[in-house]
């Protein structure tokens, strides 16, 4: 089992910045990738950025050049960060942390979600 705890959402003006954090604990040795997804009202959940345990990053075109994903590891937890710069109103959504772990099958874990609102 993997537990995910997110923090860092909030209200920001267009052009501003926010940093999201997600701490993973539990069976962190089984985690193969972590990342962020978002869901705006009336829309499907979409990938924002992911990073594998090998450091391979995948970033959505809509945020490329503005958002940066990074990860830190210690013996007790993995923490994935999403640095969001030059925020736009269309970035408004609930952001969800994700961890993909491998055991007898692939397990997908989700955080509780954190609201990001970009508005004047």
**Within 13 Å of residue 86, how many CA atoms lie on the same side as its CB?**
7
pLDDT tens digits, 6-42: 999 999 999 999 999 999 999 989 999 999 999 999 9
Q: How far apart are CA 36 and CA 108, in angstroms?
A: 12
Residue found by looking up tokens 């997804």 in the block: 37
At residue 76 the predicted structure's pLDDT band, cuts being 50, 70 and 90, is confident
Residues 6+ apart with CB under 8 A from 23: 4, 5, 77, 78, 79
Max CA pair span of the chain: 48
Q: How far apart are CA 119 and CA 47, in angstroms?
A: 22
């Amino acid at each position: 089992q993997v537990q995910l705890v997110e923090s860092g959402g909030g209200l920001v003006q267009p052009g501003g910045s926010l940093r999201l954090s997600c701490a993973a604990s539990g069976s962190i040795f089984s985690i193969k990738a972590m990342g962020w997804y978002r869901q705006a009202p009336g829309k499907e959940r979409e990938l924002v950025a992911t990073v594998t345990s090998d450091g391979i990053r995948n970033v959505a075109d809509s945020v490329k050049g503005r958002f940066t994903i990074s990860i830190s590891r210690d013996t007790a937890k993995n923490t994935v960060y999403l640095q969001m710069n030059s925020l736009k109103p269309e970035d408004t959504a609930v952001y969800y942390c994700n961890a993909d772990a491998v055991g007898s099958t692939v397990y997908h874990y989700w955080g509780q979600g954190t609201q990001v609102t970009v508005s004047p």
